[in-house]
Amino acid sequence: MWRRRNSASPLAHYAMPNKWLDSLTLYDMGKVETGYVFSAYAKW
């Protein structure tokens, strides 16, 4: 799959189930909390 439009393909979802992605131990972006600024120059 080299194109972005292929990522919406149902066949791509069947080929890469969630269990397989979990086994790769990738970083879970769902756990990221946004809205925090980590900078010494940030004004609070």
The two three-digit tokens of residue 29, written as one number:
């972006």
Secondary structure of residue 17 in the 3-state scheme:
coil
Predicted TM-score (pTM) of this structure: 0.38
Return all residues near 12 (Cβ < 8 A) that are at least 6 apart: 1, 6
Q: Which two tokens stand for residue 43?
A: 């004004």
User: Tokens for 18?
Assistant: 């969630």
pLDDT at 5: 67
pLDDT digits (tens, 9 = 90+) for 17-39: 878 878 988 888 778 777 776 77
In the block, residue with structure tokens 């946004």 = 34
